[in-house]
């Protein structure tokens, strides 16, 4: 299945390089959402995420030969390009906490949940979600991308390692460290001694 997908990506990219707009559109629609989500979760800004998506695919339009099929899938290649753009963006704007998709007009997350929950529960959930979001965005980039890829994108360690072009062990250690930082930021660690004592009691 993956081989078929890979072949199709290759074929589409070749056709795209020859000027087949339909092939390019298919490629874009196949990969844009994943790249966009990755960029959104890393930058916390929908505007920046769109800019990054545009940059990534603009590269594919202008220099399609940069992709070497022997080095991996097109998806992994695009992730790599997106990652470079994201890191540049983060260097320019180290902190950006405007990740608020639900705040955009016409978009509402979980309308069915809202109907079932009381306003108090809803406010609590929203507050918690905002805290987690802020904690993720405050992580150093290398730990953040491990958390984003493995926990939010639900990639395997191997897939994340391919996307970030680093060993699996590095991903594991970054994820471990990122998780500890997240827990620390969310002040969950403060509760640990209490719970530990309660467990002993």
Partner 1 sequence: MTCEEFATAELDLGSSGIDAQLEIAAREHLRECPHCAALHENWLSLREDLRVLAVETAEAEASPRIEMRLRQEFRTKHKTVRTHRAALVLGWGLAAAAAVVLGIGWADWYFHKGPSVAKQTQTNPAPNPAGIHNASPVPQANAPAQSESNDVIVASNNYGEFTPLPDSIPTAPEDATVVRVQMQRGALSALGLTVNEEHAADLIQVDLLVGDDGVPQAIRLPQTSTSVSN
Can you give the binding site for partner 1, defined by CB under 8 A? 16, 19, 21, 24-25, 28-29, 32-33, 36-37, 40-41, 46, 49-50, 53-54, 57-58, 61-62, 101-102, 109-110, 125, 128-129, 132-133, 136, 147, 151-154, 156-157, 172, 175-176, 179, 182-183, 186, 188-189, 191-193, 195-200
Q: Choose between 4 and 198: whose C-beta lies nearer to partner 1.
A: 198
**In contact, 43 and 52? CB cutoff 8 Å:** yes
Q: Which is nearer to partner 1, 87 or 125 (CB)?
A: 125
Nearer to partner 1, 103 or 140 (CB): 103
CA 115 to chain centre: 29
CB 6 within 8 A of CB 69: yes
Q: How far is the CB of 151 from partner 1 (least distance, A)?
A: 5
Note the helical H segments in 44-73.
Answer: 46-62
Please say which residue, 88 or 128, places its beta carbon nearer to partner 1.
128
Look up residue 73 and give its two tokens.
Answer: 């899938």
* Least distance to partner 1, CB of residue 29, Å: 8
Q: Which of residues 4 and 21 has its CB atom nearest to partner 1 in the complex?
A: 21
Which residue, 178, 33, 36, is CA-closest to 99? 36
**What is the nearest approach in angstroms of partner 1 to the Cβ of residue 87?**
19
Closest CA to 172 of 162, 158, 184, 185: 158
Please name the helix (run of DSSP H) or strand (run of DSSP E) that holds residue 41, with its range, or none.
helix 21-43
């Amino acid at each position: 299945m993956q081989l078929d997908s890979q072949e199709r990506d290759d074929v589409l990219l070749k056709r795209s390089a020859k000027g087949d707009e339909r092939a390019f559109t298919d490629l874009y629609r196949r990969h844009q959402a994943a790249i966009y989500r990755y960029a959104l979760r890393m930058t916390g800004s929908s505007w920046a995420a769109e800019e990054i998506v545009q940059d990534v695919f603009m590269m594919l339009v202008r220099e399609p030969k940069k992709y070497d099929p022997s080095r991996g899938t097109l998806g992994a290649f695009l992730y790599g390009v997106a990652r470079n753009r994201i890191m540049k963006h983060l260097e320019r704007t180290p902190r950006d906490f405007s990740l608020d998709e639900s705040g955009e007009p016409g978009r509402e997350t979980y309308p069915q949940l809202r109907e079932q929950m009381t306003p108090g529960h809803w406010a609590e959930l929203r507050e918690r979600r905002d805290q987690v979001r802020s904690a993720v965005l405050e992580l150093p980039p290398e730990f953040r991308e491990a958390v984003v890829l493995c926990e939010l994108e639900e990639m395997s360690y191997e897939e994340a390692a391919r996307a970030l072009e680093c060993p699996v062990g590095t991903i594991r250690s970054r994820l471990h460290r990122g998780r500890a930082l997240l827990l620390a930021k969310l002040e969950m660690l403060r509760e640990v001694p209490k719970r530990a004592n309660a467990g002993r009691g």
